Structure 1
Amino acid sequence: MQDDNLPIWLPRLAVHGGPRFLQIADALQAAMAEGSLKPGDRLPPQRLLATLLGVDLTTVTRAYDEARRRHLLEGRGARGTYVAAPKVELTSILDLSMNTPPSPDGVDFDDLLKQGLSQVLMRSDAGLLMTYHLGGGSDSDRKAGARWLEPMFGYLDAVQVVVCPGAQAAIAALILALTRPDDVILAEPTSYPGLRTAATQFGRHIIAVEADGHGMVPEMLEQACRQHKPALVYLNPTLQNPTAITIPERRRQELASIAKRCNVRIVEDDPYWLLADAPPPPVATFAPEQAYYISTLSKCLTPGLRVAFVLIRDPHERERFLVALRSFALMAAPLTAALATQWILDGSAAALMEGVRKEARLRHWMARDILAGRYSGAGDGLHVWLELPGYWNSSQLARAADSEGIAVTPAEAFANGSGSVNAIRISLGCVKDRERLKAGLRRLSHLLARRPESFGAAVV
């Protein structure tokens, strides 16, 4: 039980306040922010602090380690542990250009990783984790993939699921497997740049199909199919990258019907479905024989988990896909795939994803408040598509933002063809600290409110 006369900065540990070591580290950080702890102050020895707080020594050791990781403390050998001087940031760039999941509150990622790997190594043959897996993942990995896809499709036969080293590899392998050089791929006027990168490398051509506020326009798709005889249609239908548009269910049905009528395959790249609020069923549910569905863990959990699941119902198409994949990626790393499987099957993935979803929504509320009438996000997902006032163009705004230490992505990066809308994509997840993100969004809002100046190169 804690003493009422403890120094003011010491935490009163809450039963339901999350891991105790994080509560202690958070208390240290808060005390430094409010000035009750100052650089150079000496902290109690770990055993004494453990006694004062009524916790075991390991908890305090982990708390001090976490505080050091945050650059709050420094050890001075036998003299003890002291509050560190503020760390000087050598770079002031605030990255709002990379679409990554935000770090969720209340989730001890280090502990999650250690426990997951420990379980993997305890239950798996190390030899199998260090050898080739040429069948699109182990049986366990494919079963985990089927479980991951259950919210979208219900029960699936795991044999229909292929494990890939990320969504970009899956897209490239599908292009190789399903198209030939000079074939046409239809996509929206602004879409994921990785599609264009892969198509260009393989000598395929992207042709844009008109889109509106609900996604690709069905009549325009049918017209393009009859005119260009495409090999594939690429769709990113949920919280689209970059526009954040979600195609409604009725239009998904219309697009699927056109694909069936015109006998064209669909690559449905759907990384944000699980982050969306009540998303419609995937297009693949309306055209199961036409569509190839991709779901990646990198956009829902963490970028380092380079695992994607691809739903391919036809066994001959699956084999063609695997042959294409092996030509450049061979397989997903078995250890990474095993960790993904462990997290999915033991519930860790769902808990982490729920934390990401909550944090993403908090950040969207923040962006909506700060960007006011300019905000056009969906309230969830990882990014905002910001249409610019007429006195800015997107490249000019991106350069101006860069000069203010903020990285954003101009619309040109997503354009399929010569024309693009006047907008930028703002990614909300890459900046770990919410207050830094808030400050960056305010700077960006102030920049948008004033007219552009000349941003020439300095001569030194």
Structure 2
Amino acid sequence: MSEAKFKQIAQTIISRITEGYYPPNSKLPPHRVLADELNTTPVTVAKAYKLLVEQNRVESFVGRGTFVCGESQLSRVIHASEDETEFNFSILQPCLSHNIIALQDGFQKAATRITPQLIGYAEYSGHQQHRQVGVEWAARYGLSGGTLENTLLTDGAQNALALLIEALTKPGDTIAIESLTYPGILAIASLMRREVIGIEMDAHGITPDGLQHVLQTAKPKVVIVVPSHQNPTGVSMPAARREIIAQLIRDSHTWLIEDDIYGFLNPAPIPAICNWLPEQGFHVTSLSKAISPALRCGFIKVPDAQISTINAHIRANIWLSSPFNYQVAAELVSSGMAFELAQRQQQLAQQRQQIAQEILTPETPHQHGYHIWLKLPPHWQPERFVLEAAKRHLLVSSGSYFAVHQPTNHIRLSLMSINSEARFREGLHQLKDLIDTCTTSTLPFQV
């Protein structure tokens, strides 16, 4: 068999991955099965698989088979488009047109507070008044025990997650995450060479039995949970489930990272899981989802015994976050405007959830968050749908990129990044038309 033959087969497999017939994390056919299908030999297929492993398109495991690599390129999942002709249902952010005037006022007031001390270096992860912002913000939405000493400042929640994973684990360690999870966590784990394992979920988040099983069998160093308006499923964990999860983690002596950036969207505050884990829980939140991603104001509430360690990692990575951005946050929080903006976004999210229910009639119940987890009909595969949607200037996120192990036939739709309600409705109607369109695409089998 010629060398070109196995390269052609590799290209056929890449085409199938791109088209969504082999989604991320799915298992490829055994060598002999694919060889019979493509009228070649198992040896040739094995060479094609080996080439794809070298190209980081697939992973092979002895005794398990060959799997399509999970997606770690966030640009494929989240599109921060500036093209006004596109309907961006991809990126999760507040509806920024509602916040601009308040942000302008906050920046102007902060500018009048500039002093050499404010714009210079600061000890201890930033100034006390800025750490106080984090204490007040997190306390408003369910966290107890935050102080000026144990609240540290980062460049947003993503930076906080990366710092914590770097500090609490080492390459090769296992991190337990929700079976459907935010791709940013998968990207961090991939870049830092940490192993991930998914925890079974139900309508209230990770299940106690699923967590118990993972804790006993995989013995992860860290468990990461998004308890409120989970990304991508949108589910929120009730207080009773949170307390059970905390008890299981406490008994296992592992660390918890609670990524609670959507807590402000709860109709009423729900106690943070970390409230029951003062010595093992790291609580992460930020202002990005309620006010603006541009502020880059993130907060970590850290167990007392870990303050110096996490501070050392912050200093080694960024030294400190921008004090000016935190001064803007301080102006907004002290005036109460930050909480008013958060309430406005919460109300708008509920309105857009209702509109999405009317137009798309998804199977999931009405929720309060920024997005919906939409199951596609059987005639659509997520990657194919994303490609066809893009042709119509509709940006959506394939559910495959959120799955830790198993493929899923969902897409995630952000409801907030389109500022105009009229365009929001127009985009939803176009999505509905596309969903109802039955495709008859065939597999790219030729080699």
Tell me the amino acid that sits aligned with residue 134 of structure 2. G
1:396-407 to structure 2, matched below 5 A, reads 396-407=384-395
CA distance in 1, matches of 2:207, 2:252: 15
**TM-score, normalising length: structure 1:** 0.75
Partner of 2:271: 281
Q: Quick check: 1:386–1:425 contact (8 Å CA) kept in 2?
A: yes
Partner of 1:73: none
CA distance in 2, matches of 1:433, 1:443: 15
Tell me the amino acid that sits aligned with residue 379 of structure 2. Y
Helix, strand or coil for the counterpart of 1:330? coil
Partner of 2:347: 358
Partner of 1:136: 125
Q: Give the counterpart of 2:379 among 380, 388, 391.
A: 391
Alignment of 1:319 with 2:312, yes or no, is: no
Tell me the amino acid that sits aligned with residue 85 of structure 2. S
Alignment of 1:209 with 2:196, yes or no, is: no
Q: Give the counterpart of 1:349 among 303, 323, 338.
A: 338
CA positional deviation for 1:300: 1.1
Q: Quick check: 2:234–2:372 contact (8 Å CA) kept in 1?
A: yes
Residues 206, 90 of structure 1: alpha-carbon distance in 2 compared, 3 angstrom cutoff:
closer
Partner of 1:415: 403
Q: Quick check: 1:364–1:377 contact (8 Å CA) kept in 2?
A: no
1:218-297 to structure 2, matched below 5 A, reads 218-297=208-287
Report the number of matched residues.
Answer: 362
Gap regions ≥5 residues in structure 2: 1-81
Helix, strand or coil for the counterpart of 2:333? helix
Instruction: For residues 48-72 of structure 1, give each alpha carbon's deviation from its aligned partner in whole angstroms, at most 9, with x where no partner exists.
Output: xxxxxxxxxxxxxxxxxxxxxxxxx
CA positional deviation for 1:393: 1.3
CA positional deviation for 1:390: 1.3
Q: Quick check: 1:134–1:330 contact (8 Å CA) kept in 2?
A: no
Q: Give the counterpart of 2:428 among 430, 441, 444.
A: 441
CA positional deviation for 1:410: 0.5
Partner of 1:44: none
Tell me the amino acid that sits aligned with residue 347 of structure 2. K
**TM-score, normalising length: structure 2:** 0.77
Residues 154, 189 of structure 1: alpha-carbon distance in 2 compared, 3 angstrom cutoff:
closer
Residues 104, 276 of structure 1: alpha-carbon distance in 2 compared, 3 angstrom cutoff:
farther
CA positional deviation for 1:155: 6.5
Q: Quick check: 2:144–2:275 contact (8 Å CA) kept in 1?
A: no
Residues 424, 279 of structure 1: alpha-carbon distance in 2 compared, 3 angstrom cutoff:
farther
CA distance in 1, matches of 2:110, 2:409: 48
Residues 412, 348 of structure 1: alpha-carbon distance in 2 compared, 3 angstrom cutoff:
same
CA positional deviation for 1:375: 5.0
Helix, strand or coil for the counterpart of 2:149? helix
Tell me the amino acid that sits aligned with residue 308 of structure 1. G
Helix, strand or coil for the counterpart of 1:280? coil
Helix, strand or coil for the counterpart of 1:242? coil
Helix, strand or coil for the counterpart of 2:345? helix
CA positional deviation for 1:157: 2.2
Q: Quick check: 1:104–1:359 contact (8 Å CA) kept in 2?
A: no
CA distance in 1, matches of 2:145, 2:269: 18
Helix, strand or coil for the counterpart of 2:120? coil
Tell me the amino acid that sits aligned with residue 191 of structure 2. Q
Identical columns (%): 28
CA distance in 2, matches of 1:355, 1:227: 44
Residues 325, 448 of structure 1: alpha-carbon distance in 2 compared, 3 angstrom cutoff:
same
Alignment of 1:306 with 2:293, yes or no, is: no
CA distance in 2, matches of 1:180, 1:156: 27
Residues 251, 155 of structure 1: alpha-carbon distance in 2 compared, 3 angstrom cutoff:
closer
Q: Which has the higher contact order (CA 8 A, sep 6+)?
A: 2
Partner of 1:84: none
Superposed CA RMSD: 2.0
Instruction: For residues 340-363 of structure 1, give each alpha carbon's deviation from its aligned partner in whole angstroms, at most 9, with x where no partner exists.
Output: 111111112112112212222211
Q: Quick check: 2:125–2:314 contact (8 Å CA) kept in 1?
A: no
CA positional deviation for 1:456: 11
Residues 378, 182 of structure 1: alpha-carbon distance in 2 compared, 3 angstrom cutoff:
farther
User: Which deviates further from its counterpart, 434-443 or 151-160?
Assistant: 151-160
1:145-184 to structure 2, matched below 5 A, reads 145-151=134-140, 152-154=142-144, 156-184=146-174
Alignment of 1:188 with 2:175, yes or no, is: no
Partner of 2:437: 450
Tell me the amino acid that sits aligned with residue 253 of structure 1. E
Residues 308, 455 of structure 1: alpha-carbon distance in 2 compared, 3 angstrom cutoff:
farther
Instruction: For residues 292-343 of structure 1, give each alpha carbon's deviation from its aligned partner in whole angstroms, at most 9, with x where no partner exists.
Output: 00111001111111101111131x4121112222333222111111111111
